[in-house]
Structures are given as structure tokens and as C-alpha cells.
Structure 1
Amino acid sequence: MANTGLQVMGLVLGVAGWAFGILVCAAPWWRVSAFVGDELVVSQVLWEGLWMTCLSQWGRLQCKVYDSGLALSSSAQMCRALCVLSLLLCLLALPLCVTGLKCTRCLGDAHETKARLVRVGALLFVAAAFFFFLPVCWTAYVIIRDFHDPNVAAPLKRELGSALYLGWGVTVLILVGGALLYLGSTSPGAPAVPVFGKSAKGNPQSTAESKPEKVFV
């Protein structure tokens, strides 16, 4: 039961991290306009994401998708690619983990094969967390670097958006989920009583032990 509990908990965290990762990747709240220096116009707030930009003015929000992805900077294109790669790895890990769960009957009694599938899926989740962590940290580094750079004009300075903080949370969810899945599939020990009621196949020695021994005098 302990192994099954760890696997189910890890899968739930991995799915939650994958779902929130999609929202973070599509959200425009990665960078927000900063009001520094002598800038007095605070009625307009500009939000920038990986796929679109939004302008909030007097309570009205207008969003626009970028006209061309090739026109973006190499940094933005790299962040796009890494986020998409991370989400694809999670999508690939999900069917492997579901098929290899100890509580499923997809592969019958092939416990070792199922454990290997879960371990492969867990490693994919860990790799996905790493690839999602890179664009979030890189974007935060660029924002902080440009904010303290005196050569960058005040209207071009940005602050950390809420999507970056959610991105760090997504990284933790996916990483912890992958770790629990891996630990749940490598714990030693096999159940003494078969899970699915196949007692005859699970304990072949019982028939031999049940036969009375012949005593010769």
C-alpha cells in the first residue's frame, strides 16, 4: 500500500504541475511595466508573455498575440521552446506512469515491467521540471538585470510578473511528483497476499506444503 500511495500522490502532483504549467506558459503575466523615475502615468499597465501582450487601461484589458515569432528576441524564442518541451515531456510521462501504476491491471502481474515504466515516467517528469525551471529563471534574471541597468530607459524597464512566481511553483510540483513516483516504484518488498485475488498463482508453494508427508516406520 505504501508504494501505491506514493505513486498515486506523485501522479496527482505531476498532473497538477502539468496543468498549471500550461496556464503559466500561455499567460501574458511574465513581465509587467515598471513605474520608476519621474514617470507619472500609472493608468496604463503593460503585461508581456511568451505568446501575447496585454494592455490594461482604465479597467479595460486589450490583448494581442505577437505578429511573428521570428521577430522576437532569441531569449524569448528559447523560453518558448523550453516551455513547450517541458509540457511535451509531461504529456509523454503521463501514459507511462498510468500504465505502470501498481494499482492498475494494464500489464497484468508484470510488476517489474510496470515499475520500470513508472521509473521512466518519473525521470521524464524530473527532466520536464528542469526544462520549465530554466526559462522562468532566465526571464527573471533578464528583468532584474535590465531594471538595474542605467542604460535602459525607464519606459522599457519591467518587473517580475505573477506568472514567474507560479512557474516556480509549477517546477516544484512536477519535481516532487516525479520524485514520489520514482520512490514508489523502487521500494523493496512484494506483497505477501496477492492484490487481485489470484492466490493460486501467487503462492505456488502452498500446494506442496499442504500435502501430508509420508512416514515410514
Structure 2
Amino acid sequence: MDPIVEVVALILGFIGWIMVGVALPNRYWKVSSVDGNVITTSTIYENLWMSCATDSTGVHNCREFPSLLALNGYIQASRALMITSILLGTFGLVGALIGIKCSKAGGENYVLKGRIAGTAGVLFILQEGLCTMISVSWYAFNITQDFFDPFFPGTKYEIGEGLYIGWCSAVLAIAGGVCLSCSCKAGTQEKYPLRYERGTAYSGAAPSRSAATSTYGRNAYV
């Protein structure tokens, strides 16, 4: 595989990993504006960890969720998926750094390096990409479900910037993982054939000069 493609895949996976780390603590996963006069207009926003409110004067008040067990199931699942994404994305980055051909780590065994890079690509796709995608999409689904429900009694929120960051990170991680996964083919393609040399191989002791002279001129078919 082209080393340039591997480096690009590593960069995409790294950027996706960084963006997951940015999206996880971001406060604006869902946002709601309460209109009023200049003083009473406020914005309420939440993420996986806390609920905050700010008014038009710039005063912020945040309150962490008091109980983990009292949270909705999708919030707990989103927390677990995002943390898993960061942890396994870290392992994927380490594997990618070892597996790419231009890296000196791992020695000169390119078959093994290709398999390590392929494993890192699978980690990017299945863990950092899909875990993040499922987490933010599930969270966004609950926001839209409550927003379009005419009988929902609580505050209706809209999708915040934290979810968009999460979606972008998932797309980048999946793209980098697909490129790295292709390098696992090196384990089956880099099997070089034996070198062929023209000529005849003889075994046994060479005939003596007298024996060679005595057979000279005889019919080979007799």
C-alpha cells in the first residue's frame, strides 16, 4: 500500500480522535432559547454531564446531574460509548503508528506491520467511528423526538454544536479506518515467488574424464 495513503489515514484518525475529545466535554449538546424581554431572555443547554443556563446579561449557572441512576438510559449509554471511543481510539492510534510502513517501530517485517495497521483500521471503524456515531445519533434522535412531540410537557431543545463535532469526528475516523484496513492485504500479497534461474541442476559426482571419453560418439538412444 502507498505509504502516503497510510499517513493520510493516520492523520484522519488522529483528527477524529481529537474531535471526540472536544465533543465529549462540550456543553452544547442540546440548546433551548426562552424568549422574553431584554432581561428575561435566557438560553438553556445541556450535555452528558450537566445542565446550564445563561441570560442576556452573560450570567452562567451550571448544575451537574445529581444521580447517575436517575438519568435517562440514552444519556448513560452515550457516556459509555464516548468514553469507549476515546480509549479504543487511543489503541488504534498506537497500532497505526507501529503499522505504517514509514515508521521504524516494529522492525522491517512488513507483513506483520500490515496486519497491525489493518487491526488499527478496524479499531477506528468499529470503535472510534461507530461508537461516536451511535452515541451522538441516539442523543440527537431523542432531541428531535421530544421536539416534534406536541404532547411533550418539558422544555424542547434543538441540536447543539457538540453533536455536529461528534458527527464530523466519526466520519473522519471511519474514513481513516477504511484506508488503514486496506493495508492488511499486505499479509497475503507480499509473498514473493522463488527466483527462477535457467539451467540444469545435476546431482551426484561428476563423471571422470575417461568415462566421458569412452562414451563419446556412441548413439545416445542405444
TM-score, structure 2 normalization: 0.77
Instruction: Quote the residue 2:116 is aligned against.
Output: 117
CA contact (8 A) 1:6 1:184 kept: no
Instruction: Quote the residue 2:150 is aligned against.
Output: 150
Q: 1:34: Cα distance to partner?
A: 4.4
Q: 1:131: Cα distance to partner?
A: 1.0
Q: Which has the higher contact order (CA 8 A, sep 6+)?
A: 1
Q: 1:160: Cα distance to partner?
A: 0.8
Whether 1:40 and 2:36 are equivalent positions in the alignment is yes
Structure 1: distance between partners of 2:64 and 2:18: 22
CA contact (8 A) 2:31 2:46 kept: yes
Structure 2: distance between partners of 1:3 and 1:63: 50
CA contact (8 A) 2:51 2:64 kept: yes
Structure 2 portions without partners, runs of 5+? 198-222
Q: 1:64: Cα distance to partner?
A: 3.3
Structure 2: distance between partners of 1:85 and 1:177: 18
Instruction: Quote the residue 1:22 is aligned against.
Output: 21
Q: How does 1:1-217 map to 2 (within 5 A)?
A: 3-35=2-34, 40=36, 43-57=41-55, 58-128=57-127, 129-153=129-153, 156-186=155-185
Structure 2: distance between partners of 1:135 and 1:162: 14
* Count of aligned pairs between the two proteins: 190
Q: Given residue 136 of structure 2, which amino acid in structure 1 is its aligned partner? A: V
Structure 2: distance between partners of 1:97 and 1:59: 44
CA contact (8 A) 2:33 2:41 kept: no
SS in structure 2 opposite 1:7? Answer: helix
Q: 1:87: Cα distance to partner?
A: 1.2
Q: 1:44: Cα distance to partner?
A: 1.1
Structure 2: distance between partners of 1:12 and 1:186: 21
Structure 2: distance between partners of 1:165 and 1:7: 26
Structure 1: distance between partners of 2:136 and 2:106: 38
Q: Report the identity percentage.
A: 30
Listed one character per residue, the Cα deviations across residues 69-116 of structure 1 (whole Å, up to 9, x for unaligned) are 222111110111111111111011111111111011222211100100
Q: Given residue 114 of structure 1, which amino acid in structure 2 is its aligned partner? A: K
CA contact (8 A) 1:122 1:182 kept: yes
Instruction: Quote the residue 1:214 is aligned against.
Output: none
- Structure (1 or 2) with the larger CA radius of gyration: 2
Structure 2: distance between partners of 1:186 and 1:65: 48
SS in structure 1 opposite 2:24? Answer: helix
Structure 1: distance between partners of 2:58 and 2:71: 28
Instruction: Quote the residue 1:212 is aligned against.
Output: none
Q: 1:189: Cα distance to partner?
A: 6.9
Structure 2: distance between partners of 1:171 and 1:135: 10
Instruction: Quote the residue 1:195 is aligned against.
Output: none
CA contact (8 A) 2:115 2:183 kept: no
Q: Given residue 150 of structure 2, which amino acid in structure 1 is its aligned partner? A: P
CA contact (8 A) 1:7 1:185 kept: no
SS in structure 2 opposite 1:26? Answer: coil
TM-score, structure 1 normalization: 0.79
